[in-house]
Amino acid sequence: MTGPKDKPEAGSVSGGEVQVWDAVVRLFHWIVVTGCVLDLFVLDDGKAAHRFVGYVVAGALTVRFVWGFLGPGHARFADFVPSLTTLKRYLKALLRGEEPRYIGHNPAGAVVMLTLMGLLAAVSITGWMLTLDASHGELRVKG
């Protein structure tokens, strides 16, 4: 027996598949994955290549943030950012093994994604700050 949640959405293709993520979201994902692997495991900290990759990831994060307001359906934050009540209800259902299925992020996945984006922004900002004289702990007094 199928219910309303089992119906394919508009834009679905044969076999019940639905394309959820657009090209901008997919490109953002792979830029972040590639950038993190390069900066964590391949490139030397603080060198020009490391900084360049960090700036590329920060730029991709900025584009994704804007895309979260201007992009299509599932790319928009309004589509998947849960209220606290929705998140609590989902987590309780998850613990019972009765969680509903979502096209796109479920409420817990949305919170994880937003947290990762926030952490990525923090790493980008603090990494950039390390290039500033003021962030090296030097106190310069004039006069």
Average pLDDT value for residue range 5-34: 75
Residue 10 lies in a domain: no
Residue 42 lies in a domain: yes
> Domain range for residue 37?
21-133
Average pLDDT value for residue range 118-137: 85
Closest residue by Cα to residue 90 from 119, 111, 118, 74: 111
Residue 124 lies in a domain: yes
Which single residue is written with the structure tokens 């989902």?
90
Higher-pLDDT residue of 15, 52: 52
Q: Which percentage of the chain shows pLDDT scores above 70?
A: 83
Spatial separation of the C-alpha atoms in residues 111 and 106, rounded to whole Å: 9
Residue 60 lies in a domain: yes
> What is the predicted pLDDT for the residue at 15?
63
Residue 44 lies in a domain: yes
Banded model confidence at residue 1, pLDDT cuts 50, 70, 90: very low
Residue 43 in this model has a pLDDT that exceeds 50: yes
Residue 140 lies in a domain: no
Residues 47-101: tens digit of each pLDDT: 999 999 999 999 999 999 999 999 999 999 999 899 999 999 999 999 999 999 9
How confident is the prediction for the chain on average, in pLDDT? 86
Average pLDDT value for residue range 15-21: 79
Residue 5 lies in a domain: no
> What is the predicted pLDDT for the residue at 62?
98
* DSSP H or E stretch at residue 89: helix 84-96
Residues 6+ apart with CB under 8 A from 12: 18
> What is the predicted pLDDT for the residue at 132?
83
